[in-house]
Structure 1
Amino acid sequence: MRAKYVLAEVMVGLWRNVTMTIAMILTMAVSLTLLGVSLLAVWKVDDMKEYFHHNVEVSIFLKKDATQDQRDGLRDLLKKDDLVASASYESKEVAYQRFKQQFKDVPELINSTPPDAIPDSYRIKLKDSEKTDQLIAGYRDKPGVDTIVDQRKLLDKLFKFIVGGQKLALGFAALVGLAALLLVGNTIQVAAYSKRREVSIMRLVGASNWFIQAPFVLEAAFAGVIGAVLAWLMLVVGKIFVLDSATKSIASLISPFQWGDIWMMLPLLAAVAGVVNAIVGWITLRFYIKV
């Protein structure tokens, strides 16, 4: 009977202040969406770092006028080098075909890149990815070598860009989340004030503080869970229409976001929103309103 009364009061409270409730839910949904995007980005960066740490390559690009003897000399040196796990020669024709395959979804880039723009090269995998500087120093001045590209430095720039986006999204999520929590506290205050006579009567008949406060706290928690569900739906829509298409063109660098990660967000966001809103509701009742 008590549980039924508390749940009924929660529904009545949400409907009584419907405009404030909607504003609270929508604001919470926006902040949780940003939080979810940030967490997905963190997981993706961790996966990428682990993958590229074991697959990092160094590319030695040859001069256009490099002779066959210079190519063969580099090949023999690389075979004997203790730092090298494997080394493969890639002609400019093969490199251009691979380039067209990787960026087939960006025809403008392909059309603006001439076939001879990518020189012949040796693609090298190291036994220890931390020793790329040592390898580069050993081959920089070899005959026929034009430039040496360390993938780690290119990837570090990409990771820094993604981490910067994470921090921006988290900062904005914290700001919007603060606004949502202020709305939660304000909604609870209004709800408690509108029921002040009922609360007084309940106190007179000996109702416990928990029994009086429970509907308000559950009202805040329920609104948070609804906001979390809306945020999760935004993540689903974002994956289908934004994330999948965005990662498709750079699939060689970023693997698609997995549905398992998206599904994991639903209970995670719901738990965060429900618990935080309940705590804010309880604090509001405990310290600001004598209920």
Structure 2
Amino acid sequence: MRMKYVLSEVLVGLWRNVTMTIAMIITMGVSLFMLGGSGLLYQKVGDMKDLYYEKVEVSIFLKTDAPPEQRDALKAKLDGDPLIKNVTYVDKAEAYKRFQQMYADAPDLVNAIKPDQLPESFRLTLVNPEQYKNIYDQYKDSEGVDEIVDQSKLLDKVFGVLTGIQNFALAIAIVMAVAALLLVANTIQVAAYSKRREVAVMKLVGASNWFIQAPFVLEAVVAGLIGSILGLVALIGLKVVAAGGSMAALESLITPVSWSEIFLIFPLMAGVGGLVSAVTAWVTLRFYLRV
């Protein structure tokens, strides 16, 4: 009987302040959508780092006039380096072939370059790509070495941009969460004020604190859960748009977000929405209702 009464009071309370309830649900939904999106983006940036850093190469370009003795000595040194997983030698012919493939859309540039103008190089795969600095310091002054290029420098810039987007989304989520919490607190205050006489009577007849507070807390929890569902729907919509629209190119650049990852992030969104709403409502009642 008590549970039936509490549930009925929750429905009545949500409907009594319907405009504020809708505003609270929408704000909570946007906040949880941003939270879920930033969580997925954080995960994808981590996956991208693992994926791309495994393929990062360090290129050691030789001087065009480097004699074979210097080249062979450098190769022997590279083969025995424990920091290096694999060494690939690229001669002038292979370098020119790669150059032709890379600039196939610019035939004039390709025709202007002769095979003997391109330097020989060694392409290194490191055991730990983050140890590029050690490789650079060790081989920069070696005989015959002209330049050392590390692809991870470019990747660091790309990941820096993605991390900035991730932090921005998280900041927006926090701002929206604060707005949602203020709306929750305000809605609970209005609901408690509208039922102040009923609360006073219930207190006089010996009703427990949890019985008085339960309808208000559950109102906030229900609003938070509905908001999390709206956030999930927004994530699904974004996934559909990204897969079939103009954002498909962006999704092909980063590791794609799977449907399972979206649905696995939902329990986190629902948990945060429900728990934070419940705690906010409980704290508000402790300060306002004085039960």
TM-score of the superposed pair, with normalisation by structure 2? 0.80
**Other-structure match for 1:136:** 136
The aligned runs of 1:161-176 (5 Å cut-off) are 161-176=161-176
Alpha-carbon distance change, 79 to 62 in structure 1, aligned in 2, over 3 angstroms: closer
Determine helix, strand or coil for the equivalent of 1:91.
helix
Q: Which amino acid in the other structure matches residue 256 of structure 2?
A: P
Identity %: 49
**Other-structure match for 2:216:** 216
**Other-structure match for 1:80:** 79
1:91 lines up with 2:95 in the alignment: yes
**Other-structure match for 1:245:** 248
Q: Which amino acid in the other structure matches residue 79 of structure 2?
A: K
**Other-structure match for 1:206:** 206
Is the 1:247–1:256 Cα contact (8 Å) retained in structure 2? Answer: no
Which segment is superposed worse, 205-214 or 130-139? 130-139
Q: Residues of 1 paired with 2:79 and 2:186: CA distance?
A: 72
Q: Which structure's CA Rg is the greater one? A: 2
1:188 lines up with 2:188 in the alignment: yes
Q: Which amino acid in the other structure matches residue 185 of structure 1?
A: A
Q: C-alpha deviations, 1:201-222, integer Å up to 9, x for none?
A: 3223322111111111000011
Q: Which amino acid in the other structure matches residue 134 of structure 1?
A: N
Q: Residues of 2 paired with 1:237 and 1:71: CA distance?
A: 59
Determine helix, strand or coil for the equivalent of 1:86.
strand
Is the 1:78–1:87 Cα contact (8 Å) retained in structure 2? Answer: no
**Other-structure match for 1:287:** 287
**Other-structure match for 1:156:** 156
Structure 2 residues not aligned, in runs of 5+: none
Q: Residues of 2 paired with 1:95 and 1:273: CA distance?
A: 54
Q: C-alpha deviations, 1:53-78, integer Å up to 9, x for none?
A: 54432123567x67895997588447
Q: C-alpha deviations, 1:170-222, integer Å up to 9, x for none?
A: 22211111111010000011111112222223223322111111111000011
Structure 1 residues not aligned, in runs of 5+: 101-109
Alpha-carbon distance change, 66 to 32 in structure 1, aligned in 2, over 3 angstroms: farther
Is the 1:247–1:255 Cα contact (8 Å) retained in structure 2? Answer: no
TM-score of the superposed pair, with normalisation by structure 1? 0.80
**Other-structure match for 1:265:** 265
Q: Residues of 2 paired with 1:168 and 1:113: CA distance?
A: 43
Q: Which amino acid in the other structure matches residue 91 of structure 1?
A: A
